Amino acid sequence: MSFSDELDRQRAQIMRAVRHARDSWAEAMRAHKLAPPDAGFAGRLRDLSDAAATEQVAWEHAHAAGLLWRPVPGAESAQPPYELRPGTGRRGPRELWDRFDAAVATLNRAITGSNAAEVADAFGELADVTAQLADAVTHEEEPAARAPSGVRQRGAAEAPTSSRARGAA
């Protein structure tokens, strides 16, 4: 086997990994787009983190093999699915969501270019912060999961209000 044949085989293997990563990413994003607000949120965050980590590894290998990212025009203004956007009642620590929003912006900038290393780094940051969010949301959901059947934990947004706070009708 010649060096050229080996290089072609290696690049084909990397491209299969890139396609697999792309498919995992698309599936994780679809899960967020179609999701109702429910206890599965932490799991969807974990799946998104795993998909971003898979993208990171695939694009690190692609970069090492000399491959480029295909730019996505207009990606800088793209938004994540609704349940991941600011102002939608996202559960978890605000500082992690701020990091998430920054990571999304960094990824959106990276994918408008062709530098596979920058794309890999951006996916890596998104994977890291999304894993931390999944852990935090899981921790928040644990008390509700332990509550007796039919008994809901009352959150601050559900606290009773006085008639004066509700206003006169």
Number of domains in the chain: 1
Q: Tell me what pLDDT residue 156 has.
A: 39
Q: Is residue 167 part of a domain?
A: no
Q: Is residue 163 part of a domain?
A: no
Q: Is residue 156 part of a domain?
A: no
Rounded to whole angstroms, the Cα distance separating 135 from 155 reads: 19
Q: Is residue 19 part of a domain?
A: yes
pLDDT tens by residue, the chain, 169 residues: 777 777 788 888 888 988 888 888 788 777 776 666 676 889 999 999 999 999 999 999 999 999 999 999 999 999 999 889 998 888 899 999 999 999 999 999 999 999 999 999 999 999 999 999 999 999 987 765 555 554 444 443 333 333 333 333 3
- Interior/surface letters 6-15, b for 16+ CB within 10 angstroms, e for the rest: eeeeeeeebe
